[in-house]
Amino acid sequence: MSRASDNETLSRVGPGSAMGGFMRKFWIPAALSSELEADGDPLRLMLLGEKLIAFRDTSGRVGIMDHRCPHRCASLFFGRNEEDGIRCVYHGWKFDVDGNCLDMANVPSHQDFKHKVKANAYNTHERNGMIWVYMGDQSEIPALPEIEATLLPEDQVLIRTAQRDCNWLQGLEGDIDTSHLSFLHLGAAQAGNVAADNDQQHVVAARAPEYIVAETEYGTKYASFRSTEGGGDTYWRLAHYVFPFWALPPNRPIDINIIGRAWVPLDDTHTMFYEFIHKDTRKRMRKDKSGKRLRGDGVDSEFRSNDTSWLGRWRLAANAGNDYLIDRDIQRSESYTGISNIHLQDQAVTESMGAITDRTQEHLSASDEMIAKTRRRILGAVRAFQKDGSLPVVRGDAAIMQGVRSGSYVSPADVDWMNAYEDHMRAIAKAAE
Ligand code: FES
Ligand SMILES: [Fe+2]
């Protein structure tokens, strides 16, 4: 159970909020590179409760700025994306991607003060198919995150995105709540019917594992563990939370599990999910003995068409309004939920908690230790930032994420969890040499 005031601190992200100030100190995935064309239409972008526009100029550079023109606040969404700048259609002032005013078309040249006017533009960076934005103080910009999956070249990475109609922390907590895997996603799978080479057999055979949770320089980590069938060994699933809104879930065996998932707040009650995953990781499916994908294990969702409204991007066709297209017959017979794929199953339960869940109503159990500790870790970091401006180490030293990966592995029962993890990571680094 959390205090109502803690819940407010964790959830509110708008300008002036504690969490919003903290998040603005980190680079944020803002949009897919493919969403902006050179000289194409500007994009309405909501981020941390701010209404922004994004556009790509003639040279290919991306600008992200307050949508209000600094002259008299008309929206630059209606602007003309012209030769290397966007021109406000009200009185013709033109701005480049850095916010510099290039032209004050309606003012006689001797009264022009364009060098004194700037649009409120944020620093952007584009890497491997993703446009990033830095919304904090523009004079002290940190390095981009070095989470492994975000560093994959464009021909190796798949980036999935979808909007979720709830607060960012509900999405994130779904990713660090490994306990639900054996139910929400694999509740109908029978241990005897999971492919033998599939490590999910352990998840299905023992649905109430134990947990170890620890703080890290970059956030928190946990491992769930249970004995393998027949005993002797331990099956581990180890994963990380990374400041401010990243989860590295343990979806696959650790040697192939290159994945990072960001829960980017659009505002207090809408979140954009971005998953960076290696193509080969994605290919590994959960199968039954005949090689068929386990029912409910799909990942591909249908989308509504994007529109130009502030929250009009990447909304799923199945949603709260149609009960996520739940099929009660399939729920009775083959799948635990009757909801067609993993992402949608997560979407349904996290949105069903309410736009901002009331955490004073919860009854946390031993299976929620990662969630409880991560909340405390985030609250501690936000309070330290409020007190004296201090920030987690990872913000200034992105390289500490090198060699950090999540995943599952089996080790002899007497090997310590961190030793087993480090052995695997050493073997992975050696194989990559
Ligand atoms: S409001 Fe944009 S040029 Fe006047
Ligand atoms: Fe899930």
- What is the model's pTM? 0.95
CATH topology of domain 148-432: Naphthalene 1,2-dioxygenase Alpha Subunit; Chain A, domain 1 (3.90.380)
For the Cβ of 80 lying below 6 angstroms from any atom of ligand 1, the answer is no
For residue 145, give the DSSP letter. Answer: P
Instruction: For the chain, give every domain's residue range.
Output: 27-134, 148-432
Q: What is the pLDDT of residue 196?
A: 62
Q: From ligand 1's centre to the CA of 118, what distance in Å? A: 12
For the Cβ of 315 lying below 6 angstroms from any atom of ligand 1, the answer is no
Pairing between strand 43-47 and 121-127?
unpaired
DSSP notation for 204-227? HH--S-EEEEEE-SSEEEEEEEEE
Q: Amino acid letter at 369?
A: E
Q: What is the pLDDT of residue 110?
A: 95
Q: What is the mean pLDDT of residues 296-322?
A: 88
> Is 2.102.10.10 the CATH classification of the domain at 27-134?
yes
Query: Rounded to whole angstroms, how far apart are CA atoms 270 and 54?
Result: 19
Q: What is the pLDDT of residue 208?
A: 83
**Pocket test residue of 80, 91, 102, 120 for ligand 1, highest count of atoms within 8 A of CB:** 91
Contact 177, 375 (CB under 8 A): no
For residue 392, give the DSSP letter. Answer: -
Q: What is the pLDDT of residue 418?
A: 85
Query: Rounded to whole angstroms, how far apart are CA atoms 83 and 80?
Result: 9
397: left (phi over 0), alpha (psi -120 to 50) or beta: beta
- What average pLDDT is seen over the chain? 92
134: which 2 tokens? Answer: 């830095």
Name the one residue in this structure whose structure tokens are 């946390």. 364
Contact 171, 272 (CB under 8 A): no
Q: From ligand 2's centre to the CA of 259, what distance in Å? A: 14
Q: What is the pLDDT of residue 197?
A: 60
Reported as a pLDDT band with limits 50, 70 and 90, residue 198 is low
Q: From ligand 1's centre to the CA of 312, what distance in Å? A: 25
Burial of 65 (0-12, 13-18, 19+ CB in 10 A): buried
Q: What is the pLDDT of residues 232-273, one digit of tens each?
A: 899 999 999 999 999 999 988 999 999 999 999 999 999 999
